[in-house]
Structure 1
Amino acid sequence: MGGVVEACCLQPIDVIKTRLQLDKVGKYHGIVHCGRTVIAEEGVRALWKGLTPFATHLTLKYALRMGSNSVYQSLLRDKDGKLTDLRRAGAGFMAGITEALLIVTPFEVVKIRLQQQKGCEKTGLKYKNPIHCAATIIREEGPFGLWSGATPTMLCLFWAKNHMDSLLWDKHEGDGKMLTPLQSMASGFSAACLGPVATGPFDVIKTRLMAQGKEGGSLRYSGLLDALVKIPREEGIRALYKGLLPRLMRIPPGQAIVWAVSDQITGYVERHGMA
């Protein structure tokens, strides 16, 4: 339910972020101008394009993220049950890869393809809905078309949250200390702010790779490294940070809410298990 609510509230920001990242000619002059232009040209409903795959992917992503991270941490504990920072980072890395490959990438590809389409009248759109979009991609580009941009997606890791807990509140995983919801929100928000700044170029590249189709000839970008070279060469280095502000407006608030709930559940389980 949390993923659905988050998606409904933050979808317009995500649509604006995608449009800014795909804007190669400077059509949009910032968040507000982009939002106004989309509404003026396509109607208010256009700000919620791709809502179904976005909400579904958020819900499944959070469930898989928490579950897989716990499994990997359990596997990496030493014989005394301790988990070093390096092993915790390794668990986060593997959870990030699992999440990116199984959930995030295919749903993001469908969402971005829907978001980049101009207009709301289905008769004039290539992709009619999420299922039709996925089926069209598979038919035209093969099954692996749904995994376009998987490499930069896997580079966006989430394990910084544990370090923020330690830095801000001296909270270490497994110590039985329960953070208050506000503390969890502060840690989640802070960690989520670092992510978009550090991974901004990879997110732009991910969006560009996911948005391109194979119809009409060869692909503009052959892969991660090709896009990393072409984008700054053709559009300037700042193009690698397009959409950064709406990402900062979307990701940290959502992560603050998710971690506030997750930490309360995790803290209860830890305390119950230690009693």
Structure 2
Amino acid sequence: MEKQKQKVIVPQFTSKDYTSFFFAGAVCCTLTHGAMTPIDVVKTRIQIDPAYQKLNMISGTRYVIANEGPRALLTGFGPTAVGYLVQGGAKFAGYEYWKKKSVELLGSPEAAVKYRTAIYLGSASVAEFFADILLTPLEATRIRLVSQRNYATGLVTGFTRLAREGGIAELYAGFLPILCKQIPYAIGQFTVNEFCHELAFRSMSEETRKNLSGTSKFTLQLGSGIIAGFAAAILSHPADTLLSQINKGHGPTGSMPHRLSVLARQAGFRGLFAGLGPRMIMTAGLVSGQFLLYGGIKDAIGAPPGIEIHKEDGVDV
């Protein structure tokens, strides 16, 4: 098949542009994760509390309210909001940065399109790694607040107690499992979203694509985000379960790989996917909401679009 010229334009992002990406990512992630706090409370309880393990999202929510009151559904809101503020900014800005750098390193539009899957996977993974350095201590605080009812009154008291009693080692006890959770999550989020958009665009003419209505853009972003959210949830859920167990503050001792291995064997396949249904609902809402908000905030503040390296229909690469 005859090759056509690839339409890959490498923008010259400035520090202001990356600041805009960080701001948009921070706002979209803190808003969506903060809004999902009640679902995350129930999901975490299902993962770590034997009293909840036979409950679903609805019955689990009722059980929390009946035993602890409605305010319990907002347990961990502070560390969730702050943690995903810094993590979201670093993740979205980092993804834009590493995707652009990868395209530049490959040296040609044809190579970028050919290896676009590797670009998506690598950019998402590296961006998430650095974002998780910021997230891990706050995620440890959130899970301790949720799993131990009277541990602390909120973000500041919970974080300071965890730091005082356990130090850096305790704050970063979940770093390896959080990487195992968040990197597959980011891969599902960004890679699947990219390919959903690519499939949609390849079914359109160039003119149709350029003149998409606001409703069509919203529908495309929402649908792609929901599918990407399902993928992110499934890929990351086993590690999410292990992270909840590690940060609960008990279990086997030894190196982190050993602890994860023992907990995984104890949980079994079914246990590792406990709470997947509620988390798929939560993650579909999170990811679709994040992409909608991210795009809207970038448009509102005049940030440039990210680099696009989709394969054009009929192009042999």
Counterpart contact for 2:174–2:247, Cα < 8 Å: yes
Aligned mate of 2:152, from 124, 127, 130: 127
The two structures, once aligned, show a CA RMSD in angstroms of 2.9
What amino acid maps onto 1:147 in structure 2? Answer: Y
Q: Distance in 1 between matches of 2:249 and 2:201?
A: 44
By relative contact order (CA 8 Å, sep 6+), the higher-ranking structure is 2
Find the residue that maps to 2:151 and give its secondary structure: coil
In the alignment, structure 2 segments of 5+ residues that lack a partner are 1-26, 204-208, 307-317
For the pair 1:114 / 2:145, whether they are aligned, the reply is: yes
TM-score (norm 2): 0.71
1:161-198 Cα shifts (integer Å, max 9, x gaps) = 22332234349xxxx96881221121121111011112
Query: Whose radius of gyration is greater, 1 or 2?
Result: 2
Give the letter aligned to residue 152 of structure 2: Y
| Aligned equivalent of 2:294 | 262
The answer to whether residue 185 in structure 2 is matched with residue 185 in structure 1 is no
CA gap 1:74/1:27 in 2 versus in 1, 3 angstroms: closer
Letter in 2 for 1:206: L
Note if 1:245 corresponds to 2:277.
yes
AA at the equivalent of 2:243: K
| Runs of 4+ off more than 6 Å | 176-179
Q: State the Cα deviation string for residues 8-50 of structure 1 (Å, max 9, x = none).
A: 4321100001101112466542222221221111111001101
Q: 1:23 and 2:54 equivalent? A: no
Which of the numbers 168, 171, 177 marks the counterpart of 1:152? 177
**Structure 1 unaligned spans of 5+:** 119-124, 214-218
Shift of 1:139: 1.7
Q: Between the two proteins, what is the percent identity of the paired residues?
A: 21
Return the alpha-carbon distance in structure 1 between the equivalents of residues 232 and 254 of structure 2: 25
Task: Look up the SS of the partner of 1:269 in the other structure.
Answer: coil
For these two proteins, the number of residue pairs brought into alignment is: 256
Are the structure 2 counterparts of residues 10 and 110 from structure 1 closer, same or farther at C-alpha, using a change threshold of 3 Å?
same
- Matched residues in 2 for 1:39 and 1:224: separation? 35
| Corresponding position of 2:310 | none
Asked if 2 retains the 8 angstrom alpha-carbon contact of 1:149 and 1:205, the reply is no
TM-score by length of 1: 0.81
* 1:54-73 aligned within 5 A: 54-73=80-99
